[in-house]
Amino acid sequence: MLPTGKTFMEMTRYDHISPSDQFLKLPAPPLEKPYPGEGPFVPLPKPDTIIVPPLDLCKAIENRRSVRRYLRDPLSLDELAYLLLCTQGIVQVVDPFYTLRNVPSAGGRHSFETFLLINRVDGVKPGLYRYLSFSHRLLEMDTGPGIADRVMAACLGQAFVRNSAVTFLWACVVYRMAWRYAERAWRLVHLDAGHVGQNLYLAAEQIGCGTCAMGAFDDQQMADLLGIDGVDEFVIYCAAVGKSEGLKRRA
């Protein structure tokens, strides 16, 4: 029997791929998960009103580092909205088949839902939120005491999660990708995670923040926190963000 990793790579080769549900003419899954219509919601600044300082792309790439120590300065709501636009902002919707966003995704399927642990953002209560990309707003999920400690524990106790201004938690609705790509989807969603993470690093650099992406987390604890099943929807990647003294010195 092949080791797990080799089995995964073998069974997701095109030699083993089943006909996709798109090929079988089954209906496409929703491009966004349903959510409670009553909220509560936090509106975000409109994309065309957000102003961020200019930054040379080459400089941003060269300066990119994983940063685990953050200042106590909060992010502004504009800055948070900018990071969300850079990582999952929608440019065009071709319903029901795909969306074009500010980050690549195989076939435009964009199978991610963005959750946020907000610790320090001006005008937003600390807590757990979900970003609704189609309406560009936040859905409040849990602002009770101890939520930051619970997210940190799910990230295997990495203390910089609790000290961040905001930590991004990306969950993958894998059928949104598998509808088109069948078994190959399990490879593609991990590539998409890399695209999203790099966009976050570069956008954070522009607003004087440091980022640290994390692949180390307890899958079931994360699923329980977000109210997902951990199988058909699972956390695929996390990233902490906060104002950075080192980036201020380079500015």
Per run of 10 residues, the mean pLDDT along the chain (length 251 residues) is: 90 96 97 95 96 93 95 98 98 95 98 98 98 98 97 98 98 98 98 98 96 98 98 98 72 38
**Distance between CA atoms of residues 228 and 199, nearest Å:** 25
Q: Report how far apart, in Å, the C-alpha atoms of 51 and of each of 44, 45, 120, 190, 221 are.
A: 13, 10, 20, 31, 37
pLDDT for position 2: 74
In 3D, which of 133, 158, 168, 170 has the Cα closest to residue 44? Answer: 133
Strands (E), 56-177: 90-94, 98-101, 112-118, 127-132, 137-142, 166-173
**Distance between CA atoms of residues 119 and 107, nearest Å:** 34
pTM score:
0.95
CA 222 vs. chain centroid, Å, equals: 13
**Distance between CA atoms of residues 155 and 149, nearest Å:** 10
pLDDT for position 14: 96
Residues in CB range of 12: below 8 A, 6 or more apart: 183, 184, 186, 187
**Distance between CA atoms of residues 227 and 124, nearest Å:** 22
Strand partners, 238: 169, 214
pLDDT for position 245: 79
Residue in the block written with tokens 């400089």: 59
Tokens of 131: 């970003």
Q: Is 25 left (phi over 0), alpha (psi -120 to 50) or beta?
A: left
pLDDT for position 249: 41
Residues in CB range of 163: below 8 A, 6 or more apart: 69, 70, 119, 242
4-31+42-250 CATH: 3.40.109.10
Tokens of 73: 């300065």
